[in-house]
Amino acid sequence: MAVDRRNFIKITGLAALGGAAGKEAMDALAQSEAKFSPMDNALHGKRWAMAVDLKKCKKDNGCKDCIHACHSVHNVPDFGNPKDEIKWIWREPYEKAFPDQENEFVPDDLLHASAPLLCNHCDNPPCVRVCPTQATWKRQDGIVMMDWHRCIGCRYCIAACPYGSRSFNWRDPRGADAEGKPYIKEQNPAFPTRMKGVVEKCTFCDERLAKGLKPACVEGCKQAALVFGDLDDPESEVRKLLRENFSIRRKPGLGTQPEVYYIV
Amino acid sequence: MIYDKEKIVPGIVVFIVLFTFPVWYNLAFGSGEGAPKPELPAQEKQCVESKEYMRTQHMDLLNQWRDAVVRSDMRLYLSSENGAKFEMSLTNTCLKCHPNKTRFCDQCHDYMAVKPYCWDCHIAPTE
Amino acid sequence: MLENALKGSRRYWGWIAFLAAVIGIGFLCYLRQLHYGLGITGMSRDVTWGFYIAQFTFLVGVAASAVMVVLPYYLHNFKAFGKITILGEFLAISSVTMCILFVLADLGQPMRMVNMILYPTPNSILFWDLIVLNGYLFLNVIISRVMLDSERKGLEPPKWIKPIIYLSIPWAVSIHTVTAFIYCGLGARPFWLTAILAPRFLASAFSGGPALLILLCLILRRVTRFDAGKEPIQKLALIITYAMAANLFFVLMEIFTAFYSDMPEHTIHFRYLFFGIDGARNLVPWMWTSEILGIVSLVLLIVPSTRRNESILTAACAGTFISLWIDKGLAMVVAGFVPSPVGNVTEYWPTAPELMISLGVWAIGFLILTVLYKIALTVREEI
């Protein structure tokens, strides 16, 4: 259900045809394609994916660099309780992250490792299938996007996501606790916050890719354990890594085809 | 047929007159005082589109921008006014020239009693 | 016809005032919720659907159950249901209204609800649910209005209403099937991922709904001059018996499949419901109550001598209704979320404001039901 630019214009065009605007609207439409354009330095991909090198990541299991990098740039609030928690990227123990890997005996370091989890940007995303307003959809480059303007907060996508990657704004993220401490410690004015009543999640930093930057978590990882790139490009770093290392994905049996790969 | 026509019809007339009273009153005695005077940028003279267009259509433009950026991954807007390209961003483009939300946005919005929810999420610069 | 709702006894107005008070409190709580956000409820990051969606699911069943009087009466010309068919249709109207209100109460951004119409999305089951629920409401309003009007005038109902009545029969089945599809198509939630969910929903609906209808008839016999009569109540009791037997049979099939295969992701939710996991046992006493009530009520319904005894039948109907309400209106939705996809066990329990909002919606439903029944019974008395 990806809506690319051409489709977007087609849809708006049909809407305009349906209206009384007539020829004038069509003229405006002809111009509209030229009116909007991507930035010159934008990163373009056909199948964005991420490889998480757990061999590097597990060296420091307490490390939260990627989480801090992501949550601070995206104004992710911290309500200080698990009930209202919002997370785009977080750590989970190995056996919780990969319940399908039922091996009783795995190397000790892996057993005690935790994996960074985020939206898998599935090729076949169940969240997109269930959304009643197209507030979440799959882009042509593989990113599962969210439109926070459109979301009605029905939370059907959360019920459908097998990875727990989606969070709901149970409260106003702009608020503050009883002591007056704001839930968003330091706002990044270049990026919006969300409002109460909408669902949010990782978008592979679409706003940074558009400006030629890699995702914040990738940049924030000092171990270089997170590698982002285009799987469609055989020369990309992700492809190279996945060619040379054995990797696993979360709950592959569900047929969602996650695009986040874990090198164990 | 309507029962109690003699009560209902005058009732409706009285209601309409009372309801529209502020409009009549302003037309007859209004001085136009208190009309909003949004603060314009000191340096920058040229907006992304003409002043007239922005005055009446900025909400449509912002809606287009929103959909283009979020849903179509388009980030630049080609001005039909002067051919320049602008990043389509409420916070990073509009508010760069109009840094004072209270004296620019809110002036008219308060006057017109519209409450756009842009600022529930987009962060306005500190004033 | 409608003005009949405005003329009533002191007791009638007292009851209306009581409902209005409950609605008022519920509305105040809803305003609180709008202001604070859905965090005011017991729902959490792990259990993202709770009491509201469970009530919605349960009430879709009550609405669908109207077909159990409509079908015999109109399709098989079963005359004994002539007196109570309109009561079933009115019950459907009030239940569907409650369903829509519960969905509305559950939305994070209710003022954006029109987005479902502005951006129609056929791949979302919620979109289809919107269509079938509103369609069903519309059908029942039309049918009950036309039928009551011709009854009042002593005329044959117009011919065009017949096809609409026939359409309402599969439509009733569709509302609960589509509602089951909301749940049973999600790979993420193994507890709901079962093809028998829709049949189970229908079986529980066709016992729970008519059980409520019998209780309503018995109440009407006490507080009004309306008497549904013995025969329709006994026939309804028979319908409840078969549907409840099918429902319990389906539940046993689910439990067998889960536990004989012994696949952890299928058994764990049942373990949570009946025994608790990791010390989380909120629903355990409720589930056992539900099962025991269900079985005892079914036995009372099956044995002819107890079924024919109206006071025992009343108890059996109440037992059936409560048992199914616990199963669908409390446990079934929550259990799908426990444990979470990463294996976290987070318990859920509705908060006071959440319960007050729910009570308010129920009160709106009862208000609609009271007013509609008042109109129908006054029309009948005038004939």
Q: What is the pLDDT of residues B36-77, one digit of tens each?
A: 888 888 888 889 999 999 999 999 999 999 999 999 999 999
Partner-chain residue, chosen from A149, A192, A210, that has the shortest CB–CB distance to B73: A210
Residue A210 belongs to what H/E stretch? none
| Contact: A38, B76; criterion CB under 8 Å | yes
Cβ B69 vs Cβ B75: under 8 Å: yes
| Contact: B75, A4; criterion CB under 8 Å | no
pLDDT, one tens digit per residue, over A181-209 is: 999 999 999 999 999 999 999 999 999 99
Checking if the pLDDT of A30 tops 90, the result is no
Query: Cβ contacts (< 8 Å) between C134 and chain A: which residues?
Result: none
Checking if the pLDDT of A61 tops 90, the result is no
Nearest to A50 by CA among A211, A221, A192: A221
Checking if the pLDDT of A31 tops 60, the result is no
* Alpha carbon of B92: minimum distance to chain A alpha carbons (Å): 6
* Alpha carbon of B37: minimum distance to chain A alpha carbons (Å): 26
Burial zone of C189 (CB within 10 Å; 0-12 exposed, 13-18 middle, 19+ buried): buried
Checking if the pLDDT of A248 tops 80, the result is yes
CA atoms within a 13 Å half-sphere pointing along the CA-CB vector of B9: 6
Cα–Cα distance measured from residue A219 to residue A213, given in angstroms and rounded to the nearest whole number: 9
Average pLDDT over residues B67-93: 92
| Contact: B75, A174; criterion CB under 8 Å | no
Cα–Cα distance measured from residue A111 to residue A120, given in angstroms and rounded to the nearest whole number: 22
Cα–Cα distance measured from residue B60 to residue C372, given in angstroms and rounded to the nearest whole number: 46
Cβ C356 vs Cβ C2: under 8 Å: no
Q: How sure is the predictor about A16, in pLDDT bands with cuts at 50, 70 and 90?
A: very low
Q: Note the pLDDT of residue A108.
A: 84
Over its C-alpha atoms, chain B yields an Rg (Å, rounded) of: 21
Q: How sure is the predictor about A17, in pLDDT bands with cuts at 50, 70 and 90?
A: very low
The answer to whether C110 contacts chain A (CB < 8 Å) is yes
The secondary structure of chain A in percent helix, strand, coil, rounded to multiples of 5, reads 30, 15, 55
pLDDT, one tens digit per residue, over A79-109 is: 999 999 999 999 999 989 998 887 888 888 8
Cα–Cα distance measured from residue C155 to residue C383, given in angstroms and rounded to the nearest whole number: 12
Partner-chain residue, chosen from B80, B91, B120, that has the shortest CB–CB distance to A189: B91
Partner-chain residue, chosen from B66, B74, B91, that has the shortest CB–CB distance to A5: B74
Cα–Cα distance measured from residue C275 to residue C355, given in angstroms and rounded to the nearest whole number: 25
Query: Cβ contacts (< 8 Å) between A82 and chain C: which residues?
Result: 44-46, 346
| Contact: B71, A8; criterion CB under 8 Å | yes
Instruction: Show the low-confidence residues of chain C (pLDDT under 70).
Output: none
Checking if the pLDDT of A19 tops 50, the result is no
Tell me the residues of B at the A interface, defined by beta carbons under 8 Å apart. Answer: 66-68, 70-78, 80, 85, 87-88, 91-92, 117, 120-123, 125
Instruction: Tell me the helices (H) and strands (E) count for chain A, helix number first.
Output: 11, 11
Strands (E), chain A: 36-37, 48-53, 89-93, 114-118, 136-138, 144-146, 167-168, 199-200, 226-230, 247-248, 260-263
Q: How sure is the predictor about A27, in pLDDT bands with cuts at 50, 70 and 90?
A: low
DSSP annotation string for C91-125: HHHHHHHHHHHHHHHH-SSGGGTTHHHHS--TT-H
Task: Reduce the DSSP state of residue A51 to 3 states and report it.
Answer: strand
| Contact: B76, A37; criterion CB under 8 Å | yes
Checking if the pLDDT of A232 tops 60, the result is yes
* Alpha carbon of A86: minimum distance to chain C alpha carbons (Å): 8
- Other beta carbons within 10 angstroms of residue C151's beta carbon come to 16
The answer to whether C182 contacts chain A (CB < 8 Å) is yes
* Alpha carbon of A195: minimum distance to chain C alpha carbons (Å): 9
Task: Reduce the DSSP state of residue A140 to 3 states and report it.
Answer: coil
Residue A258 Cα distances to A123, A124, C35, angstroms: 6, 8, 37
Interface test with C, best of A14, A127, A134, A170 (most C CBs within 10 A): A170
Query: Cβ contacts (< 8 Å) between A149 and chain B: which residues?
Result: 66, 70
Over its C-alpha atoms, chain C yields an Rg (Å, rounded) of: 21
Cα–Cα distance measured from residue B91 to residue B126, given in angstroms and rounded to the nearest whole number: 12
Count of A-B CB contacts under 8 Å: 67
pLDDT, one tens digit per residue, over A136-168 is: 999 999 999 999 999 999 999 999 999 999 999
Instruction: Kindly identify which residue of chain A lies nearest to residue B96, measuring between CA atoms.
Output: A190
Q: How sure is the predictor about A21, in pLDDT bands with cuts at 50, 70 and 90?
A: very low
The answer to whether C338 contacts chain A (CB < 8 Å) is no
Interface test with C, best of A127, A196, A201, A250 (most C CBs within 10 A): A196
Interface of C with A in 122-161 (CB under 8 A): 123-127, 130
Query: Cβ contacts (< 8 Å) between A75 and chain B: which residues?
Result: 123
Instruction: Kindly identify which residue of chain C lies nearest to residue A166, measuring between CA atoms.
Output: C45
Burial zone of C349 (CB within 10 Å; 0-12 exposed, 13-18 middle, 19+ buried): middle
Q: Note the pLDDT of residue A2.
A: 44
| Contact: A35, B67; criterion CB under 8 Å | no
Q: What is the greatest pairwise CA distance in chain B?
A: 67
Tell me the residues of A at the B interface, defined by beta carbons under 8 Å apart. Answer: 3-5, 8, 31, 34-39, 42, 75, 137, 139, 145, 147-149, 174, 187-190, 192-195, 206, 210-211
Checking if the pLDDT of A1 tops 60, the result is no
Q: What is the pTM of this model?
A: 0.91
| Contact: B73, A38; criterion CB under 8 Å | yes
Show which subunits contact A, needing at least 3 CB pairs below 8 angstroms: B, C
| Contact: A131, C116; criterion CB under 8 Å | no
